[in-house]
Homo-oligomer: A and B are copies of this chain.
Amino acid sequence: MIEICLPVIIVNFKTYLESTGKNAVELAKKAEKVNRETGFYVGVAPQLADLKAVAEAVEIPVFAQHVDAIKPGGHTGHVLAEAVQEAGAAGTLINHSERQLKLSDIDEIVRITRQKGLMSIVCANNPTISAAVASLKPDMVAIEPPELIGTGIPVSKAQPQVVSGTVQLVREVNEKVILLCGAGISRGEDVSAALKLGTQGVLVASGIVKAKDPYAIMREFAEAMKM
């Protein structure tokens, strides 16, 4: 079983050029440095084409951004859990608002990751969807209102009721799942606000990837978690 130290920071590299190829490896090393210096759990989710190189370069957990609800076979152009695992992934994002899935596929992918010992982080747009996916028993649920993604307006401060409402609804159906807060998180105070509202970490993308000094921001996030 995978052991996770709470709270956690997961950095989604998306498909930004700043986090593609060599840049992906460099950014992952900065994340690893923050992990070494602060002890906080920092994971990274690079693109598939970069996954193996990143996983070989760092010792922090590396996540795929997506896997498909398939078994080995004839599925050209799809993402096989076995392939990302052999490439070094510790888990995967599922149903990110930029890669939304049919409900039956989310269910199937959570099952596949559980069987393989991969961590599952299911993304959800709002409190009711968060509760729905929590009942599928993934390892983590990340609440990310899509209208705030990439805006720099942190959900934890702009819509605290969305986060607290999610915590409440999710806890009614699942006491164990780790709850992450995403969308618009770009400063340490956004992170501490998220934790105070009852989440156990953050899922962040442009706030780190597009920052002038991603290391400094990750460090700021980690410092905010100490408090």
Chain A residues near B (Cβ < 8 Å): 12, 14-17, 20-22, 45, 47-53, 64-66, 70, 72-80, 82-84, 86-87, 89, 93, 95-104, 106-107, 124-126, 128-129, 131-133, 135-137, 149-150, 169, 172-173, 205-206
Contacts and interface: CB of A to CB of B under 8 A. Distances in A.
B12 A76 contact: yes
User: Which of A20, A47, A206 is most buried by chain B, counting CB atoms within 10 A of its CB?
Assistant: A47
B83 A20 contact: yes
Question: What is the oligomeric copy number?
Answer: 4
15 contacts: A17-B82, A21-B87, A47-B80, A48-B49, A49-B79, A49-B83, A52-B53, A66-B77, A74-B150, A74-B205, A75-B98, A76-B93, A77-B98, A107-B132, A172-B173
Nearest to A101: B102
B98 A126 contact: no
Contacts of A205: 74, 76
B86 A98 contact: no
Give the 3 A-B CB pairs with smallest separation, nearest first: A66-B77, A77-B99, A21-B86
B15 A72 contact: yes
B135 A86 contact: no
Contact of A87 (B49, B78, B150, B169): B49
A100 B104 contact: yes
Nearest to A71: B15
Contacts of A75: 14-15, 98-99
A114 B64 CA distance: 28
Nearest to A17: B72
